């Protein structure tokens, strides 16, 4: 999503519209371009922890299922929802819009099965809607004569995947796993309606982006639902629980295991806590798991690179880059563990010789 790729090139002012409709927006909150993330909300002044940044006015449609309703509204220029809808990206760079060739190029099983499932659903749905609308005159047509196809439905449904709500302005917030703001829902004291607010979770400095956590999703789902991936690979070389589990499984001396606390067993820095032999077996097992994981990819990195060179759509390039990154993380782990294994074994040999 970029600043220019809106449904309307010069959309009406969303902030003004939300305020006019009774919503609250902190005076320091602005919509600004946010690099490769498209538009985003930015703090133009310091805000303390707990500050109310946005409160949407209670409105039955804020919490309404989107989908077809959005498509219906998209047809009505100047409708109540127009300032919101016209600010939405025209399309989303997500695999729902992949073509058949793109899907073949992707060749990555977990994503492919999701894409196929969704595409099949959209295509079936397109047929059903077409059937129901067949022969309707335009003055009777619920979508004002708009052609309702799988891609339009995909556009509408995309918005509905994780947040089954219309959240004008709030949905301008970009994602981070270290968010500085969060969405809270509160019952309005005056009536039954839910109030939806964004509140600063930590102190926010001037010029900071206002970021919320979209959820603890896997990168596969981030790519599928939002068209981006977050940095992969953590600070640790080996997942701590996996390391502890392997050390314990491979050990045959219960007492020796019991002499160590869980933190030590989970730590790669704790040098071979159960002895060199167990440590070497644990490293070999992890290296073998890496080999199996690499074997599950249908392509080699070189093939991925040549696919990109041949020229593919932006979404496919992102998916392929993601696949390359995943493989690189695995290869780096194998390389580092092999190095550690070698040094472990050589220390062992020199200890035995002396
Ligand atoms: C709910 S919208 C956020 C507003 C959006 N940036 C815009 O310009 O309308 C979600 C989209 O923002 C972008 N985005 C949000 N967080 C991101 C992140 N951490 N990295 C990359 N892109 C991100 C992606 O394009 C995603 O599909």
Does the pLDDT at position 209 exceed 90? yes
> Confidence band (pLDDT; 50, 70, 90) for 2?
very low
Q: Which residue has the higher pLDDT, 87 or 99?
A: 87
Cα 287 from Cα 305, distance rounded (Å): 24
Ligand 1 centroid distance, CA of 339 (Å): 39
pLDDT average, residue stretch 13-36 = 90
- In this structure, of 65-69, 151-155, 194-198, 296-300, the range with the lowest mean pLDDT score is 65-69
> Confidence band (pLDDT; 50, 70, 90) for 70?
low
Ligand 1 centroid distance, CA of 212 (Å): 11
Q: Which residue has the higher pLDDT, 223 or 339?
A: 339
Q: Closest ligand 1 atom, CA of 38?
A: 8
- pLDDT computed for residue 157 by the predictor: 56
Question: Is 37's C-beta closer than 6 angstroms to any atom of ligand 1?
Answer: yes
DSSP one-letter string for 272-321:
-TT-HHHHHHHHHHHHHHHHHHHHTSSS-HHHHHHHHHH---HHHHHHHH
Does the pLDDT at position 161 exceed 50? no
> Confidence band (pLDDT; 50, 70, 90) for 221?
confident
Query: In the predicted model, what is the mean pLDDT of the chain?
Result: 79
Q: Which residue has the higher pLDDT, 105 or 144?
A: 144
Cα 227 from Cα 315, distance rounded (Å): 7
Residues above pLDDT 70, as percent of the chain: 69
- pLDDT computed for residue 348 by the predictor: 73
Q: What is the pTM of this model?
A: 0.62
In the block, which residue shows the tokens 């006015």? 57
Q: Closest ligand 1 atom, CA of 34?
A: 6
Cα 67 from Cα 124, distance rounded (Å): 15
In the block, which residue shows the tokens 């703001």? 181
Question: Who's near 252: CB < 8 A, 6+ residues apart?
Answer: none
- pLDDT computed for residue 282 by the predictor: 96
303-327 b/e (C-beta count within 10 Å ≥ 16 → b)? ebeebeeeebbebbebbbebbbebb
E-strand ranges in 63-144 read none
- pLDDT computed for residue 15 by the predictor: 93
- In this structure, of 13-22, 56-65, 87-96, the range with the lowest mean pLDDT score is 87-96
Question: Is 273's C-beta closer than 6 angstroms to any atom of ligand 1?
Answer: no
Q: Which residue has the higher pLDDT, 14 or 165?
A: 14
pLDDT average, residue stretch 122-138 = 77
pLDDT tens figures, 324-353 = 988 998 999 999 999 999 999 888 777 766
Question: Is 212's C-beta closer than 6 angstroms to any atom of ligand 1?
Answer: no
Cα 56 from Cα 270, distance rounded (Å): 51
Task: Count the helix, strand and coil residues of the chain and give each as a percent rounded to the nearest 5.
Answer: 50, 10, 40
Ligand 1 centroid distance, CA of 284 (Å): 40
pLDDT average, residue stretch 267-294 = 94
The answer to whether the complex's ipTM is over 0.95 is: yes
Question: Is 172's C-beta closer than 6 angstroms to any atom of ligand 1?
Answer: yes
- pLDDT computed for residue 198 by the predictor: 94
pLDDT average, residue stretch 22-47 = 91
pLDDT average, residue stretch 84-92 = 61
- pLDDT computed for residue 125 by the predictor: 73
- pLDDT computed for residue 89 by the predictor: 61
Does the pLDDT at position 276 exceed 60? yes
Ligand 1 pocket: which of 37, 210, 215, 314 to mutate (most atoms within 8 A of CB): 37
- pLDDT computed for residue 8 by the predictor: 72
């Amino acid at each position: 999503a970029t600043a220019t790729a809106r449904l309307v090139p010069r959309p009406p002012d969303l902030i003004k519209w939300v305020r006019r409709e009774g919503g609250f927006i902190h005076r320091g909150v602005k919509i600004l371009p946010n690099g490769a993330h498209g538009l985003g909300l930015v703090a133009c002044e310091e805000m303390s922890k707990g500050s109310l940044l946005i409160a949407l006015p209670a409105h039955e449609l804020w919490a309404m299922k989107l989908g077809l309703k959005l498509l219906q509204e998209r047809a009505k220029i100047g409708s109540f929802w127009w300032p919101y809808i016209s600010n939405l990206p025209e399309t989303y760079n997500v695999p729902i819009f992949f073509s058949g060739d793109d899907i073949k190029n992707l060749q990555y099983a977990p994503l492919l099965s999701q894409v196929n499932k969704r595409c099949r659903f959209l295509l079936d749905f397109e047929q059903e809607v077409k059937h129901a609308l067949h022969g309707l005159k335009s003055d009777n047509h619920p979508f004002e004569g708009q052609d309702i196809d799988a891609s339009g439905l995909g556009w509408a449904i995309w918005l509905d995947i994780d947040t089954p709500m219309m959240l004008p302005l709030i949905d301008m917030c970009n994602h981070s796993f270290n968010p500085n703001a969060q969405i809270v829902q509160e019952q309005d004291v005056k009536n039954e309606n839910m109030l939806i607010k964004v509140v600063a979770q930590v102190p926010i400095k001037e010029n900071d982006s206002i970021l919320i956590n979209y959820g603890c999703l896997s990168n596969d789902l981030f790519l599928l639902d939002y068209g981006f991936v977050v940095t992969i690979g953590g600070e640790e070389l080996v997942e701590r629980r996996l390391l502890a589990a392997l050390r314990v499984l491979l050990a045959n001396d219960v007492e020796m295991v019991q002499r160590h606390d869980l933190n030590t067993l989970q730590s790669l820095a704790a040098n071979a806590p159960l002895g060199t032999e167990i440590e070497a077996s644990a490293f070999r097992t992890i290296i073998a798991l890496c080999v199996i994981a690499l074997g599950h990819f249908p392509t080699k990195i070189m093939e991925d690179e040549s696919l990109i060179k041949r020229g593919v759509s932006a979404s496919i390039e992102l998916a392929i880059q993601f696949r390359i990154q995943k493989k690189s993380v695995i290869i780096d782990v194998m390389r580092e563990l092999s190095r550690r294994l070698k040094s472990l074994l050589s220390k062992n040999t020199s200890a035995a010789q002396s």
